[in-house]
Amino acid sequence: MSDINDVRKDGGINADSGREDMAERSVELSILLDFYGDVLSDRQREAVRLWCDEDLSLSEISSVCGITRAGVRDRILKSEAILRVLEDKLGLVRRFSDRDHTVRRIIARLESISGEDVSDIISDAKSLLI
Protein backbone atom coordinates (compact mmCIF):
# COMPACT_ATOMS: atom_id res chain seq x y z
CA MET A 1 0.00 0.00 0.00
CA SER A 2 1.19 3.48 -0.70
CA ASP A 3 1.21 6.43 1.63
CA ILE A 4 -1.25 8.95 0.33
CA ASN A 5 1.33 11.76 0.46
CA ASP A 6 3.84 9.67 -1.45
CA VAL A 7 1.73 9.06 -4.51
CA ARG A 8 3.00 10.98 -7.51
CA LYS A 9 0.61 12.49 -10.04
CA ASP A 10 1.40 9.64 -12.43
CA GLY A 11 0.22 7.13 -9.82
CA GLY A 12 3.72 5.91 -8.90
CA ILE A 13 5.22 5.92 -5.46
CA ASN A 14 8.07 8.15 -4.33
CA ALA A 15 11.10 5.91 -3.81
CA ASP A 16 12.11 7.51 -0.51
CA SER A 17 8.90 6.48 1.22
CA GLY A 18 9.45 3.98 4.02
CA ARG A 19 7.13 0.98 3.76
CA GLU A 20 7.05 0.66 7.54
CA ASP A 21 6.02 4.31 7.94
CA MET A 22 3.24 3.83 5.38
CA ALA A 23 1.91 0.77 7.18
CA GLU A 24 2.05 2.55 10.54
CA ARG A 25 0.23 5.55 9.14
CA SER A 26 -2.43 3.32 7.63
CA VAL A 27 -2.98 1.58 10.96
CA GLU A 28 -3.19 4.93 12.77
CA LEU A 29 -5.71 6.21 10.26
CA SER A 30 -7.74 3.02 10.55
CA ILE A 31 -7.88 3.41 14.34
CA LEU A 32 -8.91 7.05 13.99
CA LEU A 33 -11.61 5.94 11.56
CA ASP A 34 -12.89 3.43 14.13
CA PHE A 35 -13.17 6.12 16.80
CA TYR A 36 -14.31 9.13 14.78
CA GLY A 37 -15.47 7.77 11.42
CA ASP A 38 -19.10 8.67 11.99
CA VAL A 39 -18.30 12.37 11.66
CA LEU A 40 -17.09 11.87 8.08
CA SER A 41 -19.43 11.80 5.14
CA ASP A 42 -20.27 8.36 3.74
CA ARG A 43 -18.01 9.07 0.75
CA GLN A 44 -15.08 10.13 2.91
CA ARG A 45 -15.47 7.18 5.26
CA GLU A 46 -15.65 4.70 2.39
CA ALA A 47 -12.54 6.07 0.67
CA VAL A 48 -10.51 5.91 3.88
CA ARG A 49 -11.84 2.43 4.69
CA LEU A 50 -10.93 1.13 1.23
CA TRP A 51 -7.44 2.60 1.45
CA CYS A 52 -6.66 1.53 5.04
CA ASP A 53 -8.66 -1.61 5.68
CA GLU A 54 -8.97 -3.10 2.20
CA ASP A 55 -5.48 -2.01 1.08
CA LEU A 56 -6.76 -0.77 -2.29
CA SER A 57 -4.68 1.54 -4.45
CA LEU A 58 -5.88 5.01 -5.36
CA SER A 59 -6.69 3.73 -8.86
CA GLU A 60 -8.76 0.89 -7.49
CA ILE A 61 -10.61 3.23 -5.14
CA SER A 62 -11.23 5.66 -7.99
CA SER A 63 -12.91 2.85 -9.94
CA VAL A 64 -15.08 1.91 -6.97
CA CYS A 65 -16.01 5.51 -6.14
CA GLY A 66 -16.32 6.76 -9.69
CA ILE A 67 -13.90 9.66 -9.26
CA THR A 68 -10.34 10.39 -10.36
CA ARG A 69 -7.25 9.22 -8.45
CA ALA A 70 -6.60 12.86 -7.59
CA GLY A 71 -10.13 13.09 -6.21
CA VAL A 72 -9.56 9.99 -4.10
CA ARG A 73 -6.25 11.34 -2.82
CA ASP A 74 -7.87 14.66 -1.93
CA ARG A 75 -10.79 12.94 -0.21
CA ILE A 76 -8.49 10.77 1.90
CA LEU A 77 -6.19 13.64 2.84
CA LYS A 78 -9.10 15.85 3.90
CA SER A 79 -10.62 12.99 5.86
CA GLU A 80 -7.34 12.30 7.60
CA ALA A 81 -7.01 15.97 8.55
CA ILE A 82 -10.50 15.94 10.06
CA LEU A 83 -9.81 12.76 12.02
CA ARG A 84 -6.47 14.06 13.34
CA VAL A 85 -8.02 17.36 14.46
CA LEU A 86 -10.69 15.43 16.34
CA GLU A 87 -8.06 13.30 18.06
CA ASP A 88 -6.02 16.40 18.93
CA LYS A 89 -9.08 18.01 20.52
CA LEU A 90 -10.76 14.97 22.12
CA GLY A 91 -7.91 12.52 22.66
CA LEU A 92 -10.13 9.44 22.72
CA VAL A 93 -7.58 7.17 21.04
CA ARG A 94 -4.81 8.37 23.35
CA ARG A 95 -6.94 7.87 26.46
CA PHE A 96 -8.04 4.42 25.31
CA SER A 97 -4.44 3.44 24.65
CA ASP A 98 -3.30 4.82 28.02
CA ARG A 99 -6.03 2.87 29.82
CA ASP A 100 -5.14 -0.30 27.93
CA HIS A 101 -1.47 0.00 28.90
CA THR A 102 -2.38 0.68 32.54
CA VAL A 103 -4.62 -2.38 32.74
CA ARG A 104 -1.92 -4.54 31.17
CA ARG A 105 0.63 -3.29 33.74
CA ILE A 106 -1.81 -4.04 36.57
CA ILE A 107 -2.39 -7.55 35.25
CA ALA A 108 1.36 -8.17 34.98
CA ARG A 109 1.91 -6.98 38.54
CA LEU A 110 -0.95 -9.10 39.86
CA GLU A 111 0.35 -12.16 38.04
CA SER A 112 3.73 -11.69 39.72
CA ILE A 113 2.22 -11.76 43.21
CA SER A 114 2.79 -15.09 44.87
CA GLY A 115 1.03 -16.54 47.87
CA GLU A 116 -2.28 -14.80 47.28
CA ASP A 117 -5.20 -15.86 45.13
CA VAL A 118 -5.58 -12.93 42.78
CA SER A 119 -7.10 -14.86 39.88
CA ASP A 120 -10.48 -13.12 40.32
CA ILE A 121 -8.82 -9.72 40.21
CA ILE A 122 -6.82 -10.72 37.13
CA SER A 123 -10.00 -11.93 35.42
CA ASP A 124 -11.75 -8.64 36.23
CA ALA A 125 -8.82 -6.64 34.89
CA LYS A 126 -8.63 -8.74 31.74
CA SER A 127 -12.32 -8.16 31.12
CA LEU A 128 -11.50 -4.45 30.73
CA LEU A 129 -9.28 -5.24 27.75
CA ILE A 130 -10.87 -5.45 24.36
Q: How far is the C-alpha of 33 from the C-alpha of 63, rounded, in Å?
A: 22
Q: How far is the C-alpha of 15 from the C-alpha of 72, rounded, in Å?
A: 21
Q: Where are the domains of the chain?
A: 4-90, 94-127
CATH class held by domain 4-90: mainly alpha
Q: Give the pLDDT confidence score for residue 123 in this predicted structure.
A: 81
Q: Which helix (H) or strand (E) holds 63?
A: helix 58-65
- 77 CA to centre of own chain: 14
The residue among 33 and 127 whose pLDDT is bigger is 33
DSSP 13: B
Q: What is the pLDDT of residues 17-50, one digit of tens each?
A: 566 688 888 999 999 999 999 999 999 999 999 9
Cβ neighbours around 109 below 10 Å, total:
11
Q: Would the pTM of this model clear 0.95, i.e. be above it?
A: no
Q: Give the pLDDT confidence score for residue 14 in this predicted structure.
A: 47
